[in-house]
Every structure is written in C-alpha cells, then in structure tokens.
C-alpha cells in the first residue's frame, strides 16, 4: 500500500515538473521599483489519482501432513561391566587380581516414535482474504487566469 502511494506522488511530481510554467515562482527578497499587475492565461495540469482497494476471498487447498507421536517408556536393560576378582594361581600359589565380565541391570528410557498417515480426506480447503490495490491516474488540462507583477521603469522621488 505504501508503494502505491509513492507511485501516485511520483506521478504527480513528474507531471508538475514536466510543465515548468505551472511551478510557482519564488518571491523576490526585496520589493523595489514599480510593478504593474498583468493577467495572462496559463494551461494548468490537473491530476486525479484514485486508489481503490478490493478484497477478494479465495479458497486455498491445504495438504494434511503426517502425525508424529512420541512415547517414552522406562525399562531395565542388561549390560556388562568388568569387575576385579581375586584368585589364587594353582601353579605358583600367589593371589592374582583379574578382570572378569559381570552382567547387571541398568535403568534406561526407550522412546517409541509412531508416524500416523493423514486422516481422510488428504486435502482441505481454507478461505483466504486477499487485498488488492489499484491506482488510476487521469491527467487533465484547464485554462487558468494568473495575475503577475511585471516590473516597469518608474521615477523615484
């Protein structure tokens, strides 16, 4: 919408600049001398910009996706670990420490992921409201009377 207004103002500015005679003149800084008012006809440019906003309702199809469900269940799982065990060597008679595997139970969490297909129907329709902006610019010309001050020579007292 902001871009539409920029376009309208740009067109108005360009049409005004294209006709140099329609631009207002700067007033003199000091009024000196004598002036005579003179009337002349000027062709004025008239711009008429109309911005219309229309609302349109359209139906858009939306696909239903798969549903993913997660379920966490605490369980106990067997695991092995190495445990030091002391034993006597039969040949030498000395005590030896060896590492032997030992099975134990450990608590763990099992996560189940279930993917469900979409329910029937596969697609649904959704109404979406959209706004559309249109700009219509008409250019017209009309004669206008302009009063100007024309400097003339005068006698100063």
User: Which one, of 45, 20, 43, 48, lies nearest residue 143 by Cα?
Assistant: 43
Task: List the end-to-end C-alpha distance of the chain, in Å, as a whole number.
Answer: 62
pLDDT at 27: 47
**Could you give the CA distance from residue 3 to residue 139 in angstroms, rounded to a whole number?**
20
The sign of the torsion formed by the CA atoms of 27, 31, 33, 39 equals positive
Choice among 8-12, 53-57, 87-91, 136-140 with the minimum mean pLDDT? 8-12
Q: What is the DSSP letter of 27?
A: P
**Residue 117 pLDDT class (50, 70, 90 cuts):** confident
pLDDT confidence bin for 22, thresholds 50/70/90: very low
The helix/strand/coil state of 92 is coil
Residue 6 pLDDT exceeds 60: yes
> Residue 60 has what pLDDT?
84
Q: How confident is the model at residue 41 (pLDDT cuts 50, 70, 90)?
A: confident
d(CA 41, CA 145): 5
Instruction: Flag the least confident range among 28-42, 71-85, 87-101, 133-147.
Output: 28-42
Taking CA atoms, 152 is separated from 20, 30, 38, 104, 147, in Å, by 24, 16, 11, 118, 15
- pTM of the shown model: 0.31
pLDDT band at 30 (very low <50, low <70, confident <90, very high): very low
| Residue 16, SS3 per DSSP | helix
């Amino acid at each position: 919408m902001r871009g539409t207004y920029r376009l309208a103002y740009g067109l108005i500015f360009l049409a005004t600049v294209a006709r140099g005679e329609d631009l207002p003149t700067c007033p003199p800084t000091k009024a000196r001398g004598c002036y005579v008012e003179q009337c002349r006809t000027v062709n004025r440019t008239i711009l008429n910009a109309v911005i219309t906003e229309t609302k349109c309702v359209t139906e858009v199809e939306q696909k239903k996706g798969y549903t993913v469900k997660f379920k966490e269940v605490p369980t106990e799982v067997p695991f092995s670990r190495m445990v030091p065990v002391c034993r006597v060597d039969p040949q030498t008679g000395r005590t030896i420490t060896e590492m032997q595997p030992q099975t134990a139970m450990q608590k763990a969490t099992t996560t189940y992921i279930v993917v469900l297909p979409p329910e029937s129907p596969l697609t649904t329709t959704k109404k979406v409201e959209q706004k559309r902006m249109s700009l219509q610019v008409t250019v017209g010309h009309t004669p206008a009377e302009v009063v100007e001050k024309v400097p003339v020579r005068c006698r100063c007292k």
